[in-house]
Amino acid sequence: MKKLLFFSLILVFLSSCSDYQTGELSGSSNRPMWQAEVPFGMLYMPLGSLNIGPSDQDIPWAMTARNRSVSLQAFWMDETEITNNEYRQFVEWVRDSLAYVKLRDEGGIERFYVMIDQFGEDIPEEDQYIDWSQPIDWTDMENKEYLNAMFLQGDERFYKKRELDVRQLNYVFYWMDLKQAAVKSKIDGKERRAYNYETGEYTGEVLTYENSREPISDRSSYIIKEEVNVYPDTLCWISDFTYSYNDPMASMYFWHPAYDHYPLVGVSWKQAVAFNTWRTQLKNGFLRSMNRVVVNDYRLPTELEWEYASRGGLSSSPYPWGGNYTRNYLGCFIANFKPLRGNYTDDGGMHTVIVAHYEPNEWGLYDMAGNVAEWTKTAFEESSYGFTGDANTENYYRALDDDPIVQKRKAVRGGSWKDVAYYLQNGTRTYEYQDSAKSFIGFRSVRTYLGRSFTTDGVQGDSQVY
């Protein structure tokens, strides 16, 4: 027994030795454990291939899609479209962040900030961060004095109500321009330089074949800063329709509790991108605080990820629910759209309806057709099916403000409450401009799966053969 214990201790000692002591290729030590988990509110879309393109006649004769095969890696997708209440969490976070900054910079109140690290050392001012465990008391008289500037003043007030000035709700965020960073040579005979999105100027060394292995500038050239106002355009309910009485929707839709679980509308593509950046920081910030490994970014789905998920494994079906018809066996419409010759109410809704009101598709996703159309990450190009690749197919371009308007088109999928059935079909392509906000367009998020495959029992499947 003593000999067994002795040899066990020897094995433990040897296994704890560094690679330098053993002289063997054993990999980096002290790596964190990783096990895939199901993200809250999301469903798993397995890796696979599909035949994209129209499943029916091209009614508007747009000729923007052709049948071809593509393959996609696995990803997670929101079960429903982002709701008003979910997006409101983002808006309130931006509001509170602005309030914390005002209390510190204008009121000198620093108790809402973490200024000492876990070792008792002072944190430099530029690295201090908000202590979200301390909520703001908006009724405190001292706080109200410093926060008063966040509310409408003077003649802008309506019936003397104390209303937040939503024009101030700007979210500042950063993203890495990996496509620009990956450029290493002349393309089509043109010289490529790093672009500074903040100054609107090209910077850095010209990229040529000779210096393609050298960075064109320091890393900051690819870190892009953006600032986006996050409040939805509630007036889109009026501006989208000239001869319609939609004033009650404009006044109530986003903030009233009755619409909490209705799909969000009135957000631009840029706002959807900002939301996903915030959602990523929210999740990964929590994981870091728990000393856990971070996950892939939340983002908009690519156009073909959206179509793949919408089809739900029914590759030849024109609609997400399967079959060629918009009614079920009882004769009831099974999506929220514009049926018949404009009888909006015959499907159970006049405008939008609560999410998950109709049956999901084969993969459990709700409202992939109708209710609201959905932004995708993809830049819309009529001929993109002809020149894009067939592996994780994507055509991405983040247009600048001064770019031609044609470069600001983003693919929109799924059809909405005001569209005829053709736009509900899986293969139908259309677009909207990235800085526009509509009463019939919302979005849902995806997150690329870390690894190869995932089983329903929550065990990562990379080590298994399927």
| Radius of gyration over every alpha carbon of the chain, rounded to an integer in angstroms | 26
The dihedral through the CA atoms of 15, 19, 22, 24 has a sign that is: positive
Mean pLDDT of the chain: 84
User: Which H or E run contains 10?
Assistant: helix 2-16
Cβ neighbours around 422 below 10 Å, total: 17
Q: What is the pLDDT of residue 209?
A: 37
Q: Quick one: average pLDDT of 219-229?
A: 85
Q: How far apart are CA 29 and CA 69, in angstroms?
A: 42
Q: How far apart are CA 359 and CA 418, in angstroms?
A: 19
Q: What is the pLDDT of residue 207?
A: 43
User: Which H or E run contains 175?
Assistant: strand 170-176
The dihedral through the CA atoms of 410, 413, 418, 420 has a sign that is: positive
Reduced to 3 states (helix: H, G, I; strand: E, B; else coil), residue 215 is coil
Q: What is the pLDDT of residues 124-176, one digit of tens each?
A: 877 778 888 888 888 888 888 889 999 999 999 999 889 999 999 999 999 88
CA dihedral 454, 458, 464, 466 (to 10 degrees): -50
Q: What is the pLDDT of residue 408?
A: 94
Q: Are 212 and 186 in contact (CB under 8 A)?
A: no
Q: Of 414, 383, 453, nearest to 303 (Cα)? A: 414
Q: How far apart are CA 66 and CA 5, in angstroms?
A: 69
Q: What is the pLDDT of residues 399-412, one digit of tens each?
A: 888 889 999 999 99
Reduced to 3 states (helix: H, G, I; strand: E, B; else coil), residue 116 is strand
Cβ neighbours around 160 below 10 Å, total: 6
Reduced to 3 states (helix: H, G, I; strand: E, B; else coil), residue 466 is coil
Domain spans, the chain: 48-83+232-448, 86-169, 175-223
Q: What is the pLDDT of residue 31?
A: 84
Q: Does domain 48-83+232-448 have CATH number 3.30.2130.10?
A: no
